[in-house]
Amino acid sequence: MSAATQYTTAELAADGLVREKMPRHVAVIMDGNGRWAQSRGLPRVEGHRRGVTSVRETVEECAKLGLEQLTLYCLSSENWKRPQRELDFLMSLLEQYVIEERSEIMRQDLVFSMIGRREGLSQGVLNEVEKTLACSRDNRGMRLCLAVNYGSRAEIVDAVQAIAREVAAGRMAPADIQEDQISAHLYTAGMPDPDLLIRTAGEMRVSNFLLWQISYAELWVTQKCWPEFRRPDLLDALRDFGSRDRRFGGLKG
């Protein structure tokens, strides 16, 4: 199976993009679904439903742009505070998405993955996720990672506990615990850190998302809510990323 057809250098240039200045990994906080719906007199759940269209377009565009990974913040561990009706709808929508997009994941040669704690997720969601994980495991294209029931502090706690168990068992000494060992015990082990973090709906915070991994990520915020996010907005973010001088704490040579 071949990966999804990627844009040529000329096609990228037509959109003001340079391949060498593209991020490897883009992470997105998909915010504002409920607010978008309520501002239009619609129930909050309709915003989540409409947001799936933005997900589909963003996934396909990122694959064509040649990104190595796209990570989407679908459900935070704090979202369980929402009304049960909305949570039930989100579980149903997630299950439906994983089922309906499986053929597209295979067509685009995407590698599907999911990070976050499995506790609290419906059995239907877990079953469909496992099917998609299995069938896409040998794909060669972009990695599509969904963060579901995810919280970065919980992730770090889980990593610290796993390392502590290894120390207690004598498989690791405290002096061996360095940044790479911590990274290797996070849910994102083996994945590149995000280069670009996009947030919709104008909120200027990272909301407990990939706190360790976004240490040097570029942030880009749009006032548009997630159901409004489309290809031109993604290109705006990528062009802005390409214009930035990333020094990682050093000085420009």
Look at residues 98, 99, 95, 102 and name the one whose alpha carbon lies nearest to residue 122.
95
Query: Is 79 designated active site?
Result: yes
Closest to 185 in 3D by CA, of 208, 161, 206, 209: 161
192: nearest Cα among 69, 110, 74: 69
109 in active site: no
Interior angle at CA 138, CA 112 and CA 146, nearest 5: 10
Q: How many CB atoms lie within 10 A of CB 157?
A: 11
DSSP collapsed to 3 states, 91-159 = HHHHHHHHHHCHHHHHHCCCEEEEECCCCCCCHHHHHHHHHHHHHHCCCCCCEEEEEEEECHHHHHHHH
DSSP 52: H
Exactly one of 15, 79, 109, 193 is catalytic; which is it? 79
Q: Which residues are catalytic?
A: 31, 79
